[in-house]
Homo-oligomer: A and B are copies of this chain.
Amino acid sequence: ADARAGRQKITACQACHGLDGLSKNPEAPNLAGQIEGYLVKALMEYKSGTRKNESMNIVTKDLSDQDLADMAAYYSSIEIDVLPP
């Protein structure tokens, strides 16, 4: 998967998840630095309908597995720092 290609494919994602991977919408999760395999699985489940979310089911429906993998790679590649509790 290609994070650089993914960055060019996230036009539909940005309104809710940001270019920086931080949520812009109280129903949308942050994606910055998220585990890549988790994101791929989530996207594949949204595409197949196994996981239900109206917006996500619609936006993933016509995307290729390669597109989904590249998008996951992009968001996962964003570096995050955590301030330990």
Contact = CB atoms under 8 A, between A and B. Distances in A.
Interface residues of A, number: 31
Contact of A35 (B26, B52, B79, B84): B26
Choose among A38, A81, A82 the residue with the greatest number of B CB atoms under 10 Å from its CB: A82
A77 B38 CA distance: 22
A43 to B, nearest CB: 13
Number of copies of this protein chain within its complex = 2
A4 B22 CA distance: 24
B51 A21 contact: no
A20 B26 CA distance: 22
Interface centre among A7, A23, A32 (most CB of B within 10 A): A32
8 contacts: A20-B82, A26-B37, A29-B34, A30-B33, A32-B80, A50-B52, A51-B52, A77-B85
